[in-house]
Chains A and B, each alone.
Chain A
Amino acid sequence: MSNILEVKNVVKKYGDYVALNEVSLTVPKGSIYGLLGPNGAGKTSLIRIINQITMPDSGEIILDGEKLSPKHIQQIGYLPEERGLYKTMKVGEQCLYLAQMKGLSKAEAKKQLEYWFERLGIQGWWNRKIQELSKGMAQKVQFVVCVLHKPKLLIFDEPFSGFDPVNANVIKDEILELRNQGSTIIFSTHRMESVEELCDHIALIHKSNKLIEGRLDDVKRKFRTNSFEVGILSDNVEGLMYDITQKFKVGQTNFKSLNNEIKLEIQLGNATPNELLHILTQRGQVTHFMEKIPSVTDIFIQAVSEK
């Protein structure tokens, strides 16, 4: 089985409101899977169903080849977007309690906690109360709670919110390390730069429907528009513009360069890059020629506004 999680035609309604409409997802083992979507798209509903917090109205979920059932709770780690811990409980006690709820024995939980506390440099916090910690510190504790039972599947909902850049980096490295150790990570976020950086698969949910799913490269390939950024130094700008506007759609663009050239974005349509280059080289000196690859942000905005 190469897929850790398969969501098949899941429907979830709250009264008359449809939160998820026939949503299907496939999360490959060992991937970092970005679950994207605007606010209220249905991401949290889906995550709650995967965590068995709520039940779908129809459809099924397969975890590692088996139909999702209560015993799988121990194989999933969940970091909710809205963080919280018992404020008056001591850090150590609380982590032990939450770990035991995930099925660890007390001794095992303690061992794991010591490992993780040392790893994140928070050994001294065992006897402190959550309310004495800063928000970022409490987030670290919660991250530990989420991962310490070594789940096969980790679900992070906005994992970097509330962290300063240094700690965000620490957490990012830990996430990558967990992936390298064999966990699969579902990653729900609005922060597109971290998707770009971490995810190898993405799915986009919008208004209760799944719009896009696949390998990030494939999605990008699908969304590429065959347009090119061009920089050219030319004596006869009017002639150049005449030539290319005859054949292609042309727009202004901007990119960093050291020359004082004309910067254009040209949509090729069905033509090949060579055809464009041919025209360009006849009219001037080409200084820049690059395919415009859509960013996740572009894809996100384009997909959401299309529908």
Chain B
Amino acid sequence: MTFLSPLLFVGIAVFVGYLSSMKADTKKVAIHDETGLFANEFKALNSKDGEYVYQDLSSIDIKSLKDSITKESYEGLLYIPKVTNDKDLENKIQFISNESPSISFIENVQDIIAKKLTKDNFEKAKLDTLAIKNAEAKVNISLAKASGEESLKGLNEIKIAIGGAFGYLIMMFIIIYGNMVMRSVIEEKTNRIVEIIISSVKPFQLMMGKIIGTSLAGLLQFFIWAIIGLTLMIAASAFLGIDASPVAKLPPTIIQNAHQEFTGTAQMYIKELWGLPIATILISFVIYFIGGYFLYSSFYASIGAAVDNETDSQQFLLPIIMPLILAVYIGFFTVINDPHGTIATVFSMIPLTSPIVMLMRIPFGVPWWQLAISIALLFGTFFFVVWFAAKIYRVGILMYGKKPTWKELYKWLKY
């Protein structure tokens, strides 16, 4: 699994990229336009690469059309009835189909009709459409830091994506490898081999060894994944000519438009990205990974020691998973809105959530003292938690047969 998982991931990414780069089947849409106003608007949209091909079938009787769309391979029938007042058109137009059309398609159609109607309305009112168009103001606020550098829009999203990716990774690793620690403790306990082992080493040593061992295994696996994944990704995009990145999904026109702006702004983005505290991000990722993982693994280890089988562990796992989920939510909802607000700051200090929340804040720039306090708190709590987890562990691994209650766990602390 160690080597296969990244292969699987890359395989899926390539597969998705391949699927999205495939041209969708052209869908035929019949138009029965009794007003004669819109058919040409739609026909003008027909192109070779378009997903939808519009056919003007206004000459055919609507009743027979309704019957035939099911038999013919039409996606649906856009029925624009004759009305006395154009105002009525706003509510009278129907799209008749057997399967519900996609929302984006309907919105698109509505947009086209609305635009045409608005334009006609302007003309009827004798307004100069060109003048109106020219009068429309487009505002584009550019962001700048107090230090004077110009910032770029969308950078916040990139920052939260980077921080979020690392934070999410930490959560995943804590859950996956924490569970591994727990399972291994339960295995040793149910195997009863634990009695032989702790007659050779102290329970504390066994627990710490397990936690450190799995965390190193986790880091190693992470690096293997990263390296294999990266290599495969590069190889796949080079050999197959498929760009697995989301850009492939954008329509060609947008890419073309973006291209002119891009050459200019791309350099700025790259400069801005390099300006991110990458070293800080990576170093704090490792620190928070170790701290957060150790902290949670101690919980997992003591839970493993307290119960006899995995089913019994659920009751104790919930309070552990809650702060992790909370941290991710805070990261994605609060940090992106207000990276230095009270909530984000407080939760990046609380040791149970700090590994995730702080990592999401770091790309936005965090003062050193906050980082220092957060890390100190994390490791301080870790030593405290290890101390009491070891107590539960020590008693728990030799207790068999019954599922302890919270009260009993508290009693074990005093043994």
CB of A54, distance to nearest CB on chain B (Å): 8
When distances are taken between beta carbons in the complex, the residues of chain B under 8 Å from A85 are 191, 193
- Would you call A78 and B199 a contact (CB within 8 A)? yes
B123 within 8 A of A: no
* B200 and chain A: residue at smallest CB distance: A101
List chain A positions with a Cβ less than 8 A from chain B: 14-15, 48, 51-54, 70, 73, 76, 78, 80, 82-87, 98, 101-102, 142, 145-146
CB of B330, distance to nearest CB on chain A (Å): 40
* A84 and chain B: residue at smallest CB distance: B192
- Would you call B193 and A84 a contact (CB within 8 A)? yes
B51 within 8 A of A: no
* B206 and chain A: residue at smallest CB distance: A101
Contact A73 to B193, CB < 8 A, known contacts A15-B411, A53-B398: no
- Would you call A53 and B411 a contact (CB within 8 A)? no
* A97 and chain B: residue at smallest CB distance: B197
Query: In the bound complex, what is the Cα–Cα distance between A146 and B398 (angstroms)?
Result: 19
5 nearest A-B pairs in the assembled complex, by CB-CB distance = A84-B192, A84-B191, A82-B192, A101-B200, A51-B199
- Would you call B415 and A101 a contact (CB within 8 A)? no
> Among B188, B195, B414, which residue has the most Cβ atoms of chain A within 10 A?
B195
6 A–B contacts, CB within 8 A, in A order: A53-B203, A70-B202, A78-B195, A82-B195, A87-B191, A98-B196
When distances are taken between beta carbons in the complex, the residues of chain A under 8 Å from B192 are 80, 82-84
- Would you call B191 and A102 a contact (CB within 8 A)? no
Contact A78 to B196, CB < 8 A, known contacts A15-B411, A15-B415, A53-B398: yes
- Would you call B191 and A52 a contact (CB within 8 A)? no
Q: Which of these, A14, A76, A101, A146, contacts B197 with CB under 8 Å?
A: A101
List chain B positions with a Cβ less than 8 A from chain A: 187-188, 190-203, 394, 398, 400, 411, 414-415
Q: Which of these, B198, B199, B415, contacts A76 with CB under 8 Å?
A: B199
Q: Which of these, B188, B191, B200, B394, contacts A73 with CB under 8 Å?
A: B200
* A85 and chain B: residue at smallest CB distance: B193
- Would you call A80 and B196 a contact (CB within 8 A)? yes
Contact A102 to B398, CB < 8 A, known contacts A15-B411, A80-B192: no
Q: Which of these, A15, A73, A83, contacts B199 with CB under 8 Å?
A: A73
* B399 and chain A: residue at smallest CB distance: A14
Contact A101 to B201, CB < 8 A, known contacts A14-B415, A53-B398: yes
* B411 and chain A: residue at smallest CB distance: A15
* B190 and chain A: residue at smallest CB distance: A84
* A102 and chain B: residue at smallest CB distance: B200
When distances are taken between beta carbons in the complex, the residues of chain B under 8 Å from A78 are 195-196, 199
Query: In the bound complex, what is the Cα–Cα distance between A83 and B194 (angstroms)?
Result: 10
- Would you call B200 and A86 a contact (CB within 8 A)? no
When distances are taken between beta carbons in the complex, the residues of chain A under 8 Å from B190 are 84
Query: In the bound complex, what is the Cα–Cα distance between A80 and B258 (angstroms)?
Result: 73
* A16 and chain B: residue at smallest CB distance: B411
When distances are taken between beta carbons in the complex, the residues of chain B under 8 Å from A51 are 199
CB of B210, distance to nearest CB on chain A (Å): 13
* A12 and chain B: residue at smallest CB distance: B415
When distances are taken between beta carbons in the complex, the residues of chain A under 8 Å from B195 are 53, 78, 80, 82, 84
Query: In the bound complex, what is the Cα–Cα distance between A82 and B400 (angstroms)?
Result: 11
* B397 and chain A: residue at smallest CB distance: A53
When distances are taken between beta carbons in the complex, the residues of chain B under 8 Å from A80 are 192, 195-196, 199
* B198 and chain A: residue at smallest CB distance: A53
Query: In the bound complex, what is the Cα–Cα distance between A69 and B187 (angstroms)?
Result: 29
When distances are taken between beta carbons in the complex, the residues of chain B under 8 Å from A87 are 191
When distances are taken between beta carbons in the complex, the residues of chain A under 8 Å from B201 are 101
When distances are taken between beta carbons in the complex, the residues of chain A under 8 Å from B193 are 84-86
When distances are taken between beta carbons in the complex, the residues of chain B under 8 Å from A15 are 411, 414-415
